[in-house]
Structures are given as C-alpha cells and as structure tokens.
Amino acid sequence: MGRFIPLGIALLFAACATSPKTQVLPEAESFAGFPQGALAYLYVDTVKARPILDAISLERIGGNKGSIAAALDKTTSAVAALYPKGGPRHFLVAARGRYPSFQASLSFAFSAAWKKRRSETGVSYWHSPQRGISILLNPEQVFISDGDPVPVPGVSFPQAPEAFTSFSEHAVLAGWLTEGAMPFNQLLHSLEIPLQIPAGQVLFSLRQSEAYYQGVIRIETPSVSEAKALVSLFSIARLFMANLDLNTWETVFFAYPPVQDGAALNLWTGTLDAQGVALLFTQFSLYSN
C-alpha cells in the first residue's frame, strides 16, 4: 500500500461538503473506470472527516493551506483505490463537487510547475513532475493520481464485500483491503512478534463520537474454525504488546480483545482525536509497503 496513507488518504479526506448534511457513503459504481487490481478501496463521509483533513498536510498537490481549503469547500464526496507498487499508478482518487475548471485550467497553463499531458485514451490532463501528481479536472469531478488519472472506459467496478453496507453505516470513512493480512503481518514482523495472521478480505471503518474517533476492523476468514484460531492469535499478540515499550499508535489495534462473529473477527481500536487519526495513518503507511 506504500505511501498512499499520508498522501492518498489525505487527498481522499479532501472532500469537505458545502453544507453539514448527513451523507450516504457512495455505491461501488463510484469506482467505475478505475483500473482493476487495487489492494484497497476507500469511501469517506467528507463532512465528518474535516477535522482529520485539517490535521493532514495537503500542500504536495500545490498551493497553500488557504487555497487548498477553498478548493476543498467545493467538494462533496470522494473515493479512492490503492494499487501495488511497481504498476503505472499507486493511487487514484475521484472527488465530486462543483469546480471552476476553466479558471483552474488557466492557472495550470500559466504555471511552470504543471505540464499538459495526454492519456492513452486521448484525454488531456495536468501533471506536476516536481510533485509527482496528475490531475484531471472537470466541472463536477476531479481525478487525482500519481500516474495517469484518466478513468478507463468500460472497466467494471469492484463489488463491495457482502457485509460492507451494514458495516459502513454511520462511518466517517470505510473501505476494504483485498489482501487484508499484509499490513498487519508487516506490523507484527517489525515489532519482532513471531505471528502470522491468516485473513482474506478486511473491512475497516472509522466512527465518530463527539470529538473522538474509533476504528472498527472486520477480518473475514474462510471458516468458523479459522476465525476461532485467529482470535487466539490476536490474544497472544496482545500479550506480546503488553510487554513491549511501544507508542500509542502501535498498540491502538490491540486496545480491546477480539470478538468472533461466525467466520469473521471484529476488532475495536482505542479512541483517538483527529490529530491521533492523522498520525496513525502516517505511521501505519510504514508497515504497508
């Protein structure tokens, strides 16, 4: 998953709605045109995520905090996909809203930092070699990527896991990992904890209670017996954690005992404020390459 967390998820949070209404998380159709093969998919409730966005720096995409905030105020929703390292792109973000695309295109045209490029499908977009960012800007939608940002016509969109709709209800953000065990096992390896977690898809969400947030992680396994074994593995990992001198972000995934739900395992993180969530995303990226 690489360096998407400090940048790509931050970009995804860059979807601040213009009015404080309750927003329903987008459907899978929101990923129409996204290239296949992503490691993770992410939705966001952009109104509730604004405090987290304010804690994450977005200057890499250009401009100062004031100009970025003004652009974010025009955005109503966003989704993102993360891709394996070594491919044509590592992340792709799609944000919806109402954008001054003509004025923005003029600004890009007169900026030495941005160059016009053309995708394989013949669509023009803007690219910043210095920042390694490409932007396709339309009046109602913006695509941002570290590769070609132009959606591919005719590509079928991914199907969300069966439990995702109910799992993501009332979430600030929610998504799923297609290779769910990888970041957890790399974290355990970095802490020299001799465990390997078997898992298929992993669903995750972040929920808000007043000024604090709590993550919920659902790990799906092929059978009830494997889920039971996974409960034991996580319980052992919690014992290892108790004997290590760790920072809060390293123990946040093991704050509470795991709970088995049929062939799945549910984990609740410790509570964090917006700054803590931003730090967690940044630090966890180190263990998801």
Going through the chain in order, the beta strands assigned E by DSSP cover 40-44, 75-82, 91-97, 115-118, 124-128, 133-137, 141-145, 173-177, 202-209, 212-220, 259-261, 264-272
3-state SS assignment for residue 215: strand
Does 122 reside within a domain?
Answer: yes
pLDDT of residue 17: 31
CA-based nearest residue to 51, from 273, 287, 282: 273
Higher per-residue pLDDT: 145 or 107: 145
Q: 48-71 burial string, b = 16+ CB within 10 Å, else e? A: bbbbbbbbbebeebbeeeeebbeb
Does 70 reside within a domain?
Answer: yes
pLDDT of residue 205: 92
Does 157 reside within a domain?
Answer: no
For 253-283, write each residue's pLDDT tens digit.
778 888 999 999 998 988 888 888 887 776 6
188 and 134 both lie in a single domain: no
Last residue of a domain, one of 113, 145, 177: 145
Q: Is the pLDDT of residue 126 over 80?
A: yes
Tell me the sheet residues that pair with 143.
94, 136
Q: Find the domain containing 190 and state its range.
A: 164-287
Contacts of 86 (CB under 8 A, 6+ apart): none
Q: Which helix (H) or strand (E) holds 224?
A: helix 224-242
112 and 50 both lie in a single domain: yes
26 and 128 both lie in a single domain: yes
- Torsions phi, psi of 281, nearest 5? -60, -45
For 16-36, write each residue's pLDDT tens digit.
333 333 334 455 567 778 888
238 and 183 both lie in a single domain: yes
9 and 116 both lie in a single domain: yes
Q: At CA 94, angle to CA 45 and CA 130, rounded to 5? A: 120
130 and 208 both lie in a single domain: no
Q: Which of 77-91, 185-199, 269-283 has the highest mean pLDDT?
A: 77-91
CA-based nearest residue to 268, from 278, 254, 281: 254
Last residue of a domain, one of 145, 180, 195: 145
CA distance 202 to 191: 21
What is the number of structural domains in the chain?
A: 2
Last residue of a domain, one of 116, 145, 174: 145
Does 158 reside within a domain?
Answer: no
For the chain, the average pLDDT equals: 77
Least confident of 52-61, 85-94, 260-269: 52-61
